[in-house]
Structure 1
Amino acid sequence: MRAFIDDIARSIAFLSRLPVPARHFHGDDHGLSRTVRAFPIAGAVIALPAALLAAVLAVIVAPPFVAASLIVALQLMITGALHEDGLADTADGLGAGRDRERALAIMKDSRTGVFGVVALVMTLLIRVAALATLVVILPPEALLLALIAIAAFSRAAMVWHWHMLPPARVDGLAVSMGRPAPASARLALFLGFLVALPLLPFAAGPVAALIAVAAAILAFFVFTSRTRKRLNGATGDTIGATQQLVEVALLAGLALCL
């Protein structure tokens, strides 16, 4: 249990800008092969401030679009737009790169191209629009639980994408941090479902939850299949993009079904 708590703390430090006590890093080799098992729980913790803000804004009946924009802004501040950066780089690589080598070179470039900008704009618009709908429809406590469930499930998807694909490069994050150990990947997936499956039906109802999860799983497999075909493996960017696409699918699925 102590090792798992350390993994949660290390995962929070890796996935966000939240402060973490230094004692959790004693003996840390900076690898993530085992640590990724805690990504879903870390995701739930990282989502808590924005989820609490969403509940407060729902209680005071803030204008939906303003409330949704503030929620997303806080999420971006907490994560440092880590996953959004991966999404933009992945969109540029897959959109502009005609072959694998060119796509990987584009993704490594720090500049953002038109495909990356369009991907960011569209996903942010969908997130804000979906949240604006959920803020109006869901009770405050249900909204809080839904955001926590989405955060946990989308972080589990990151780990599974990483686990399913070999590294696309000989260097980079997917190599330097180590591939998820099979047991850690399975535990991450289990924890993602363990958090999401009770909370989403409770928050939004079983039908909306089922459709949203189905949409997220479809988005995951379509994107992972596309990444395997184009890049023959995963990168740190595609891992972050996975989180974004799964989160967007869950939010949009709930908003469309409620």
Structure 2
Amino acid sequence: MSFVGEFCDDVARSIGFLSRIPMPDRHFVGYDGRLSRTVRAFPLAGLLIALPSAAIAAALMALQASSLFSAFVVVTIQALVTGALHEDGLGDTADGFGGGRDREAALTIMKDSRIGTYGAVALILSFGLRVSALASILPLFTPLGAGMVILGAAALSRAAMVWHWAHLPPARSGGVAAAAGEPQPGATRLALAFGLLAAMLLFYFAKVPPLGLVATLFAWFVVIKGFDRLAARKIGGHTGDTIGATQQLTEIVVLGALALAV
């Protein structure tokens, strides 16, 4: 199969893994479920997954709808399209990191599907911070620019997932992330390069000022490095939950950086 054909398969598999969007069966023929190469398409898949919310944001801004209402609609659509997959990871991670006295206790808590106090607070803060940041920045751009900002944040946050996955070992041998395999070095580099380039181009064409671009990149790098260290200290590596939490944390800080710098 050609590179283009393989990459199209990886995009479809990434969308199927990261969202509730159904993909054609032909992309999964003979597929063993491993994501070692597939992760290279995560940032592009993130763009495609975010297209509905970006389009709705652009339409609402063109109609001069309330920015707060528009921000809530955007975040709601994102959660519906992804099936709240990343929010689930954030909630479980917060419960484990906050309530676990040691590594084993934290991993046990994270495996429990029930939500605790730390998880509930983390989810409230995640939705609140993203909505408030979006509400402050959406009116500052043209309708098309508002959509581009949402797409740029989506690309960066999916690239961050690959970074976290590739830079830490699996925290448990039988987890979802471990079963999916370790990201290939080449796939990781492609994901990071595409995610960063796509986001910067989208922000540039949205007319984000230079300070905003610098602040966004700085915030993105600080949060992924900081969260990597926290995960390494708390559980000794990554899990599917921490990978999802990385997406949420990155999106929060990227939108927050734009809100402060634009």
TM-based fold match above 0.5: yes
Give the structure 1 partner of residue 241 of structure 2.
237
Tell me, yes or no, if the aligned pair for 1:157 and 1:243 is still in contact at 8 Å: yes
Structure 1 segments unaligned to the other structure (5+ residues): none
Deviation by residue 1:182-235 (Cα, 9 ceiling, x = unmatched): 111111111111201221133212211210221121111111111011111100
Give the structure 1 partner of residue 127 of structure 2.
124
Whole-angstrom CA distance in 1 between matches of 2:203 and 2:41: 20
Give the structure 1 partner of residue 210 of structure 2.
206
Residue 224 of structure 2 is aligned to residue 255 of structure 1: no
Whole-angstrom CA distance in 1 between matches of 2:88 and 2:123: 9
Aligned to 2:82, which of 76, 79, 84? 79
Whole-angstrom CA distance in 2 between matches of 1:146 and 1:172: 34
- Counterparts of 1:176-215 in structure 2, within 5 Å, are 176-203=179-206, 204-215=208-219
Aligned to 1:10, which of 9, 13, 27? 13
TM-score w.r.t. structure 1 length? 0.98
Offset at 1:29?
Answer: 1.1
TM-score w.r.t. structure 2 length? 0.97
- RMSD (CA atoms): 0.8
Give the structure 2 partner of residue 109 of structure 1.
112
Identity of aligned residues (%): 51
Residue 55 of structure 2 is aligned to residue 52 of structure 1: yes
- Counterparts of 1:160-171 in structure 2, within 5 Å, are 160-171=163-174
Any runs of at least 4 consecutive aligned residues in structure 1 with deviations exceeding 2 A, and if so which?
Answer: none
Whole-angstrom CA distance in 2 between matches of 1:71 and 1:95: 29
- SS in structure 1 at match of 2:64: coil
Tell me, yes or no, if the aligned pair for 1:7 and 1:36 is still in contact at 8 Å: yes
Give the structure 2 partner of residue 38 of structure 1.
41
Whole-angstrom CA distance in 1 between matches of 2:210 and 2:176: 37
AA partner of residue 156 (structure 1): A
Structure 2 segments unaligned to the other structure (5+ residues): none
- Counterparts of 1:57-68 in structure 2, within 5 Å, are 57-68=60-71
- SS in structure 1 at match of 2:202: helix
Whole-angstrom CA distance in 1 between matches of 2:18 and 2:42: 8
Offset at 1:26?
Answer: 1.3
Aligned residues: 258
